[in-house]
Amino acid sequence: MTKILITGATGNVGRELTAQLPADAIRLLSRNPGADQSRPGLVGGPEVVGGDLGLPDGLGTALEGVDTVFLIWPFLSADAADGVLAEIGRRRVVYLSSSGVSEGHDDPINRMHAELERLVAAHAAEWTILRSNTIASNARGWAGQIRSTGVVRGPDIPATAVVHERDVASVAARALTSDGLNGERLVVTGPAVISRAEQVAAIGAAIGRELRFEAVAADDARAQMLADGRPAALVEALLANVGRPASGLVTTTVAGLTGVPARSFGAWAEERAGEFR
């Protein structure tokens, strides 16, 4: 029986996707298979195989018996991507990209995604691109500030149609198990455009506390993010969005493919409330 290889399986989208597909139909790529095999939810579940997208020559074992790959690119540049896609070869690939590519945003992260999309189309026998909007789980990075001060400080990037990671995974599951989405570039969004201040307020409502968002000047935000150890390329990509108008991009992709309306950020905050208390 052929398998679906899932990369990024222990990340936010990957965990949700793994839970939605039959365990015997999938194989998880891991740089530390021993540790990941013992994670809650994976014990006695899907096969976990060692491999590293940064070392494409070592992917042979993970790709044996695989006809479809779910690809999440974990790096900030596309430098190693050609080798990885060449190793994957003429298989089917579903790639998790960014909605910023659809909107023509010219920053390091979206340029990387655009290059990955090009390579996927060039190498894969069949492919589907999922251009995801901002994923709700990114807000988990605010948990420390919320618990300690009740104030989230950061650059005031434009409002976007934030999407629940479970909805991204549900669309990915359809793309991986259906032939009808080959050659499609699907933009995956939440149901409404929401600002950072509105996200913080939604988390406050979920935990029963008054929270607020405090915008920080770009130079101050850059210095703090670099001091926190974030890679320079990621910092510049985040700050490239400051000053842009809010996105008006809202799609019906989730509802159209799953039959269920996209979940709101407020619903996500209620699910995750315990992480912010």
pLDDT along the chain (277 residues), means of 10: 91 95 95 65 76 92 96 93 95 96 85 96 97 95 93 89 98 95 98 96 98 92 80 80 80 97 98 97
Residue 27 backbone phi and psi in degrees, to 5: -135, 135
Cα–Cα distance list, 179 to 6, 151, 175, 227 (Å): 18, 46, 7, 46
Instruction: Specify the pLDDT at position 31.
Output: 87
Domains of the chain: 3-133+164-188+249-262 (3.40.50.720)
pLDDT at residue 176, rounded to an integer: 97
Q: How far apart are CA 178 and CA 232, in angstroms?
A: 39
For the chain, list the strands marked E by DSSP: 3-6, 26-30, 47-50, 66-71, 92-98, 126-132, 151-154, 185-188, 212-215
User: Is this structure's pTM higher than 0.85?
Assistant: yes
